[in-house]
Structure 1
Amino acid sequence: MKGKFRNCAELRLAVAPMMDWTDRHCRFFHRQLTRRALLYTEMVVADAVIHGDRARLLGFDAEENPVALQLGGSEPAKLAEAARIGEAFGYDEINLNVGCPSDRVQSGTFGACLMRTPALVAECVAAMKRAVAIPVTVKCRIGVDEQDPELALDELADAVWTAGADALWVHARKAWLQGLSPKENRDIPPLDYDRVYRLKGGHLDRFVGINGGIQSLDAAVDHLQYVDGVMLGRAAYHTPGLLAEADPLIFGDQPHDADWAGLIETMSDYAARHIAAGGRLSQVTRHMVGLFHGLPGARRWRQILSSEATRPGARPDVLHAAFAAVDLSAGSREAA
């Protein structure tokens, strides 16, 4: 997926950047479930990319591609340098975070705070576009605090598209920077999908993707009647098994039965390599706890991964023991 996004089908589905969740182990796991969805890193601050441990912050397995690097920051020159570094690491896209409401980004005056300064966001996008050949995209909210989403979102969108942004992903909620915690900002401000639809309707030649509260692939298909792409967040993380159905349902690939045993072997081998490099099994398996949600034995799967995989010295055979508890022959997907 190198180069500009000319074929919107490539962007029909993405897994959202989620702090403390979408690390390299999570992405490797998700890639075993879907070959087509675009995966995102956690947000990485531009200063950290420039001055920090780049191998730790940016390193990833080539099998994760296509994968996008999400950057946080508000200084065009620094973002341009961080984007250049990200491109050299092999990322397929650079995304600017204009939606995170955490205290950390507020103290640094970036993330959702940037909704108030669309001209500055445009400068950041333009600087990154000059620095790299891969796509530069933006993820934003529909507004913050007292802003009118009808005006705020249009102003932000017009600014970044004029600056050359290749795509705009919109979390269809306001962010309340005063009075709500980051967790509350994911649930309390009401969703306004129609606002995102209207943005797309007025800009048919621009890529507009939607994010926020989307719980299923069926819901994603419904959204795709109105926008170009759908970004799944917590649904993809807590019930990752749904990603195994994404390529046929969203991209039209040939349906096939999931090879769960093969997946466990692949993840066991991956975990063994990670442990050999000094890591811990739980750093991999913590992302897999919700895999068999709804199948008989899923509770035991969760219990084994949550207890045995966290023990000092735990080895990949824990994955096999947990998998043995799952009844894949059951036709029902009622909660286990």
Structure 2
Amino acid sequence: MSDSNTTNFVNPTTFILLGIPGLESSYVWISIPFCTMYVTAIFGNFTILFIVKTEPSLHEPMYYFLCMLAVTDLVLSTSTMPKLLSILWFSGREIDFNICLTQMYLIHSSSAMESAILVAMAFDRYVAICDPLRHSTVLTNPMVAKIGVAVVLHSCILTLPYPFLVKRWPYCRTNIIPHSYCDHITIVKLACADISISSYYGLIVVSSGWLDVFFICVSYTQILRVIFRLPTMDSRLRTFGTCNSHLCAILVFYIPQFFYAIMKRFGQNVPLHFLILFANVYVMVPPVLHPLIYGLRTKEIRSRLFQLFTHTRT
């Protein structure tokens, strides 16, 4: 299909992803860090899943939630990076309309799922620190499974209207998406219709994310209250240390999203290619860093990883 800015169609069968405009001559060099990040994310998250599965001592609620996070990170990174690499390596900018909707749904649902999993992990830390004697009775395996199902259903249902809303609009202006992947608001802006419903529903989804942040803050407020009541500084630091990995995972997930939202809202003078680059980076940061955070900062995973590599070498 032609890359023309104006076409005579109403329901396009394909869209054209613009890629990273203005940097076409550097595509090969840009692909190197993104390909490295993707390979690192795939290897790191599969390693986490393998270690937790093969080590019986890690069959606990925190590590089950970590496995959920790893699976979500794999979906999130695989939803965007193969298509970006196709654009950078082969100029594969054309994407089928239904595949575009699927990509959009996977990106937004996995992001919502990741946020909800971080809330579940905050609840785990809250029970472990504020009511440790009941931790094993409250967070049983059936309860963890129920929380996992609730997280999946919440995220999938929350973002399910996105593809249906996008599909109902007529697209008679252009089929060129000024992005490297199918983002909800970027697509609906191409519609030649009143897209207020999509915009309002997008705000509802964003508000759900901020509600997750609120629940995490409430959990850690209670955790800090308990920690400050401990008698010695050593016990406070030791107890707080059990939250370090989770806190780092929260920062890695929310801080890039916050800055991206600020840039999109107030950065009218920010070049488009920079926004697109940052959009891809912030999608890849959590899948890359979460396995590193838990692999390096969690003693049980670190020791099992060391045993694994030592055994492999011998």
Q: Which has the higher contact order (CA 8 A, sep 6+)?
A: 2
- Structure having the higher strand fraction is 1
Larger Rg: 2
TM-score w.r.t. the length of structure 1 is: 0.22
- Structure having the higher helix fraction is 2
